[in-house]
Amino acid sequence: MASAFAGIEIGKRSLDAHNQSITTAGHNITNAGTEGYSRQRVQVKTFEPIYRPDLSRAGVPGQIGQGAVAESVNRVRDEMLDQRITAQTNQESFWATREKYMQMLEQIYNEPADVSIRSNMDKFWEGWQELSVHPESQAARQAVVTRANTLTESIQQRFESLSGVGNLINGDIEATVRQVNSFAAQIAELNNEIVRSRAMGDNPNDLLDRRDLLVDKLASLVNVSSDQRDSDEFMVHVDGHILVQGNVARSLDTVTPGDNNGYSKVIWKDTGLNAEISGGSLGALIGLRDVDVREEIQSLNTMTLNFADLVNDVHRNAVGANGVTGQDFFVQQPFVTNVNGNYDADGDGNFDHSYIFRMTGTNSLNAQDQIGLEGVMTLSGQAGNVEIAYHATDTVEDVINRINDSTGEVKAYLDKNHNLVLKASASQAPENPDFVIRYIEDSGFFLSGYSGILSGAGPENAYNFTRPDAVNVLAGAQTAVSPVLNPAAYISVNKVLQNDVMGVAAAYPSADGLVNMGDGKAAVDIAAIRNRPMMIGRERTLDDYFADSVTNIGLKGEQAQTNLASQNALMADLRNLRDSVSGVNIDEELADIMKFQHGYNAAAKYVTVVDEMLDTIINRLGV
DSSP string covering 533-578, please? ---BTTBSSHHHHHHHHHHHHHHHHHHHHHHHHHHHHHHHHHHHHH
The pLDDT of 141-167, averaged and rounded, is 94
- Helix, strand, or coil here: 347? coil
Q: What is the pLDDT of residue 336?
A: 85
CA distance 548 to 365: 31
CA distances from 174 to 168, 224, 247, 252 (A): 10, 19, 24, 10
CB atoms within 10 A of CB 423: 23
pLDDT-based confidence at residue 57 (cuts at 50, 70, 90)? low
- Helix, strand, or coil here: 420? strand
Q: What is the pLDDT of residue 623?
A: 55
- Helix, strand, or coil here: 493? strand
**In this structure, are residues 536 and 542 in contact, taking their beta carbons and an 8 Å threshold?**
yes
Q: What is the pLDDT of residue 30?
A: 93
- Helix, strand, or coil here: 453? coil
Identity of the residue numbered 233 = E
- Helix, strand, or coil here: 525? helix
- Helix, strand, or coil here: 515? coil
What percent of the chain has a predicted confidence (pLDDT) above 70? 93
- Beta strand residue intervals within 148-216, DSSP E: none
DSSP 37: -
CA distance 96 to 102: 10
Q: Which backbone phi and psi does 598 adopt, to 5 degrees? A: -65, -40
Length of the chain equals 623
* Residue 240 backbone class (left: φ over 0; alpha: ψ -120 to 50; beta: rest): left
CA distance 592 to 576: 23
CA distance 546 to 299: 10
Burial bucket for residue 464 (CB in 10 Å: 0-12, 13-18, 19+):
middle
pLDDT-based confidence at residue 537 (cuts at 50, 70, 90)? low
Mean pLDDT of the chain: 89
Q: What is the pLDDT of residue 329?
A: 96
pLDDT-based confidence at residue 49 (cuts at 50, 70, 90)? confident
pLDDT tens, position by position, 112-153: 666 788 899 999 999 999 999 999 999 999 999 999 999 999
Residues facing residue 342 across a β-bridge: 354
**In this structure, are residues 380 and 409 in contact, taking their beta carbons and an 8 Å threshold?**
yes
CA distance 191 to 247: 6
Q: What is the pLDDT of residue 595?
A: 94
pLDDT tens, position by position, 579-594: 888 899 999 999 999 9
* pTM summary value: 0.86
pLDDT-based confidence at residue 54 (cuts at 50, 70, 90)? low
Identity of the residue numbered 602 = A
Residues facing residue 408 across a β-bridge: 381
74-83, 540-549, 578-587, 608-617: lowest mean pLDDT where?
Answer: 540-549
CA distance 239 to 282: 12
What percent of the chain has a predicted confidence (pLDDT) above 90? 64
**In this structure, are residues 78 and 208 in contact, taking their beta carbons and an 8 Å threshold?**
no
Q: What is the DSSP string of 61-126?
A: SSPBP--EEEEEEEE---HHHHHHHHHHHHHHHHHHHHHHHHHHHHHHH---TTTSHHHHHHHHHH
Residues facing residue 507 across a β-bridge: 319
Q: What is the pLDDT of residue 51?
A: 65
Sign of CA dihedral 319, 320, 323, 329: negative
CB atoms within 10 A of CB 44: 16
pLDDT-based confidence at residue 543 (cuts at 50, 70, 90)? confident
**In this structure, are residues 213 and 273 in contact, taking their beta carbons and an 8 Å threshold?**
no
CA distances from 458 to 378, 447, 461, 479 (A): 10, 11, 6, 21
- Helix, strand, or coil here: 481? strand
pLDDT tens, position by position, 218-267: 999 999 988 876 666 899 999 889 999 989 999 999 998 765 567 889 99
